[in-house]
Structures are given as C-alpha cells and as structure tokens.
Amino acid sequence: MPRIVIDPALVERYVFELAEHGAYAATGVWRPAYSPAWQAAQRQLAAWFAQAGLSVRYDAAGNVWGRLAGQRGGPAIVTGSHIDTQQPGGRYDGALGVVAGLVALQAIFAQHGPPRRPIEVVSLCEEEGCRFPGTNFWASRAILGLIDPAEYETLCDEDGISIGAAMRGAGLNPEQLGTARRDDLAAFLELHIEQGPVLEHAGLPVGIVTGVTGLRQYVVEVRGSANHAGAFPMDLRRDAMAGAAAMIGEVIAAAAALGRPAVTTVGRILAKPNYPAIIPERVTFTVDVRHPEAQALAALFARHEASFARIAAECGLEVDWQITLDQPPSPADPALVELLEQAASARGTPFARLHSGAGHDSLMLARIAPMAMIFVQSKDGRSHTPAEFTAIDHAVAGIEILADALYALAWSDQMTR
C-alpha cells in the first residue's frame, strides 16, 4: 500500500479558518445548526471541496457532500463528521473529522488520480442536539430516512424558533427531507477527537475504535410535599430533594462499582419550589447511562430503575421516569477495524484499541453500512468546551491512517464484504 503524504500546514489552516465561522472568545466556536455561522461554514467547506476537485451538492437536510466518481459505479465509500458545535464548543469536535476527510481525499486524488469506486466526504449538518433539544442526530437520521415530519415544527430552540423555520431561514425546505435518504453507502469511516483522557494517559496519538457505546437518557421526577424548612420535623417530611439525592448517589455509585467502561451521569437538576426555606415538593433530574456491551448496559438500566422505585417507597414519595433517548451499542465492523490497524502498523504509528464513550453519527450510520472510527488524542481529555485542543501532529497521524484506509477501499478496491 503506498503511503499517502498529508500536509500538516494544510490541516492546520483548514481547522483554524473553519473556526473563524462562529468564533467565540479566544479559542471557542459557537456554531449551532442552521445559524448564520453554520451557513458560512458549510459554504466554506463546499468551496474547499470544489477546489479539491470534488463534485459538490447540498442535500435537503443541509449536509454538504463532496464526491469523486469512481471508474466504475456502485455504493460509495464515505468519510466525514459534523459541523455544528456546542454553545460554545471548540475548534476540533466534529470539524476535525470533516477536515480530515477533505485533506485525505485531496491528497489521494492529487497523488494517485481518480478512484476505482465512488468516494465521498460529508459535512453533516447537525449532531450535537444543543440548539434544538430532541433532534438526536438530525443529519444522520435524515440520511436514514428516520425524521418524523411532525418534528419540523415541534422541535424548537430557546427562542421558540422551530427547526423547520431555521431550515427555511437557511434556504432549505424541511418538507423535502425525505430526499436526503441514502441507501448506497459501502462503508463509513469517521475520524474524531477522543473527547476523553485515555490516549493521553497512555501516551498514544491514535485510537482505533472497536464500537460506539450504547446509551439511555432518563428524566426522573420525584414528588413529595412542600413545607416550612424550620417548623416541619425531619421524621414527618416527604422531602423530594432528599429522595432525589439518595437516588442520584446510588445510581452514580452503581456505575462506579461496576467499573470501567460503565458510566452514569446526572447532568441537570431542577427543584420546585426553588427557595432556601422551603422543603422541595418536586425535583426533576436527568440520568445518562452508557456502556459498550449490551448485556451490561441492560443490567445497569435495571439496577438504576430499581433504585428509583425502592428509594421513593422508602421515603414515602412518588416517582416517575421517562426515557428520552435509547441507543443500543454499535460495534465497529471487524474488517474495517483490521484495515485501520494494518494502516497504523504499516506506518509505525502506535495506537490502542478503545471503545467510544460518546455517541457519534457512526452509531446511526452503522445501520446502513459497515463503519469504523479513528480517535486522535484530546489534550487533557477536554471537549465540548473552548479549551479543547488536539495537536496537529496527532491529527495528521490519524489522517494518514484514514487516507491509507480510504485508498485501500476506493482506489485498490479492497472491500470488506
């Protein structure tokens, strides 16, 4: 397999110029889906795709695709990631994966000419779900044809703007979202920053991902009785906060006791009434549960739900919970994992096998195509913050592996199945 030469200066230029669209403070990026900054970033990528010799198109969701037609037809090899950010986020989450795909295709095409099989890089319109809560992989769900038309007007941002209205403001027609569906992907490869500290702690630049974690998110509501904080005896209280605190402590302890890679997070809590001298009548909190193995994940769900019910009964409280997101684990394609490992070994690039604790578009697109992921080291494990940083030499190490794998799949036609 010939080595593809990747230009570090080009990678750095693309990353920093893309970050100008939605730049926030010194190092952050604020680029929610369908915002003016998002529109400018997608236009920039479309221009870069065209300059690299790719044919460019927007689909109905606002995903931007750059394509090299193969010397023969058939399903396309696809790489890419998402372009939206947290509010605020950093320069690398998602965006580096799009830049990686562009740089890889640009380098292979310049050095080896047209591919045998069609190959594409995609800048996915939305993955974070931060502007429109409930979108949950809007871009990849559009590609899968899984968006309910009712979502266009019911999913709104904090200003009350529906995602359908935001799409129209960006020049898109939500009624045409069905046309974004694809069923012709032969493989999907995604490069992403790790968003955790494992690679840095191991002193490794790159990780080959064996699978994307399963996850479930709950909203739990605990109900008791509001009373005076001083005059009402402790033994007579129906204190929703005390019950919620016990539940929170127990579910976090359960994941800690199970050990890595199990994780449980309580990220949001709301009390009503929310005053210092009133016993809360109602407490609502979120629980995020993740594990890459289906059996362990199911056991963790059952244990957490049993804790909710038992503690509420012991405290004389009422409890209800709603599952707001439920994604099973998604293993990476073994043949693609082997291909990435072979590419890393051929270059002498040290790597580790690891699972992804975060959800990615690869989790969804694995439903229609073999998928695999490459992680590159995140400084201090930071992500979803302006402080996130990935060194260019680590990024290039990942892009070299990506490029070698794409060459094998599309130029030498080394398909996995």
Task: Please write the tens of the pLDDT for every residue from 81-130.
Answer: 999 999 999 999 999 999 999 999 999 999 999 999 999 999 999 999 99
Judge whether residue 414 has pLDDT over 60: yes
Task: Give me the amino acid identity at 174.
Answer: P
How many other C-beta atoms are found inside a 10 Å radius of the C-beta of residue 274?
Answer: 10
Span 247-254, mean pLDDT?
A: 98
Judge whether residue 323 has pLDDT over 60: yes
Per-residue model confidence (pLDDT) at position 373: 98
Distance CA 139, CA 143 (A): 6
Give all domains of the chain, ordered by start, each with its CATH number: 8-212+329-411 (3.40.630.10), 214-327 (3.30.70.360)
Q: pLDDT digit string (tens) for 176-202?
A: 999 999 999 999 999 999 999 999 999
Judge whether residue 390 has pLDDT over 70: yes
Q: pLDDT digit string (tens) for 158-172?
A: 999 999 999 999 999
Identify whether the C-beta of residue 359 lies closer than 8 Å to the C-beta of residue 215.
yes
Backbone angles phi, psi at 15, to 5 degrees: -60, -45
Backbone angles phi, psi at 210, to 5 degrees: -90, -15
Per-residue model confidence (pLDDT) at position 415: 62
> pLDDT above 70 covers what percent of the chain?
99
For the chain, how big is the Rg over CA atoms in Å? 23
Sign of the dihedral defined by the CA atoms of residues 59, 332, 257, 198, in that order: negative
Judge whether residue 413 has pLDDT over 80: no
For residues 312-350, one letter each, b for 16 or more C-beta atoms within 10 angstroms of the residue's C-beta and e for the rest, the string is beebebebebeeeeebebbbbbeebbebbbebbeebeee
How many other C-beta atoms are found inside a 10 Å radius of the C-beta of residue 308?
Answer: 22
Which two tokens mark 266? 């309580």
Coil, helix or strand at residue 120: strand
Crossing angle of helices 392-406 and 334-347, rounded to 10°:
120
Per-residue model confidence (pLDDT) at position 3: 82
Backbone angles phi, psi at 124, to 5 degrees: -75, 140
Task: Give me the amino acid identity at 13.
Answer: R
Span 246-256, mean pLDDT?
A: 98
Average model confidence (pLDDT) across the chain: 96
Give 394's pLDDT tier (boundaries 50, 70, 90): very high
Identify whether the C-beta of residue 73 lies closer than 8 Å to the C-beta of residue 367.
no
Distance CA 351, CA 377 (A): 10
Q: pLDDT digit string (tens) for 35-80?
A: 999 999 999 999 999 999 999 999 999 999 999 998 888 999 999 9
- DSSP assignment string, 12-64: HHHHHHHHTTTEETTTEE---TTSHHHHHHHHHHHHHHHHTT-EEEE-TTS-E
Contacts (Cβ under 8 Å, ≥6 apart) of 415: 117, 186, 187, 409
Give 254's pLDDT tier (boundaries 50, 70, 90): very high
Q: pLDDT digit string (tens) for 205-230?
A: 999 999 999 999 999 999 999 999 99
